[in-house]
Amino acid sequence: MQASGKNAGLGLALVSAAAFGGSGVAAKPLIEAGLDPLHMVWLRVAGAALVLSPLAWRHRDLVRRKPALLAGFGLIAVAGVQAFYFASLSRIPVGVALLLEYLGPALLLGYIRFVQRKPVTRAAAAGAAVAVVGLACVVEIWAGLSLDPLGVALGLAAACCQAFYFIFADQGADGDDVPDPLGVAAYGLIIGTLVMTLIARPWQMDWEVLGGDASVAGTEVPALALLGWVVLIATVLAYLTGVVSVRRLSPQVAGVVACLEAVVATVLAWVLLGEHLSAPQILGGGLVLGGALIAQSARPQAPAGPEMDALDREKTAA
Is 196 or 111 the better-scoring residue by pLDDT?
196
Whole-number pLDDT of residue 302: 41
Give pLDDT tens digits for 24-39. Answer: 888 889 988 999 989 9
pTM: 0.82
Whole-number pLDDT of residue 100: 79
Lowest mean pLDDT among 70-74, 165-169, 266-270: 266-270
> Domain residue spans in the chain?
2-317
Tell me what the mean pLDDT of segment 233-260 comes to: 88
- Whether residue 265 contacts residue 25, with contact meaning beta carbons closer than 8 Å, is answered with yes
Q: Which long-range contacts (CB under 8 A, 24 or more apart) does 230-234 make?
A: 230/23, 230/26, 230/27, 230/30, 230/40, 230/43, 230/44, 230/47, 231/43, 231/44, 231/47, 231/48, 231/51, 232/51, 233/19, 233/22, 234/19, 234/20, 234/22, 234/23, 234/26, 234/27, 234/44
Lowest mean pLDDT among 30-34, 46-50, 250-254, 294-298: 294-298
Is 318 or 43 the better-scoring residue by pLDDT?
43
300/153 Cα distance (integer angstroms)? 34
Give pLDDT tens digits for 296-317. Answer: 665 544 444 443 344 344 434 4
Whole-number pLDDT of residue 152: 81
Whole-number pLDDT of residue 110: 85
Whole-number pLDDT of residue 145: 54
Give pLDDT tens digits for 197-239. Answer: 999 999 999 999 999 999 887 889 999 999 999 999 999 999 9
Q: Which long-range contacts (CB under 8 A, 24 or more apart) does 205-209 make?
A: 205/35, 205/36, 205/39, 205/42, 206/34, 206/35, 206/36, 206/39, 209/30, 209/33, 209/34, 209/35
Nearest to 227 by CA among 26, 78, 82: 26
184/177 Cα distance (integer angstroms)? 13
Is 293 or 153 the better-scoring residue by pLDDT?
153
Whole-number pLDDT of residue 89: 76
171/158 Cα distance (integer angstroms)? 20
Whole-number pLDDT of residue 40: 92
pLDDT at residue 50 greater than cutoff 80: yes
Kindly report the average pLDDT of the chain as a whole number: 82
- Whether residue 192 contacts residue 265, with contact meaning beta carbons closer than 8 Å, is answered with no
> How, if at all, do strands 219-222 and 213-216 pair?
antiparallel
Give pLDDT tens digits for 272-286. Answer: 777 676 788 788 888
Identify the band that residue 97 occupies on the pLDDT scale cut at 50, 70 and 90.
confident
Whole-number pLDDT of residue 265: 78
Identify the band that residue 1 occupies on the pLDDT scale cut at 50, 70 and 90.
very low
Give pLDDT tens digits for 115-145. Answer: 888 887 888 888 888 888 888 887 777 765 5
Distances (CA, A) of 181 to 70, 172, 249: 10, 10, 13
- Whether residue 259 contacts residue 105, with contact meaning beta carbons closer than 8 Å, is answered with yes
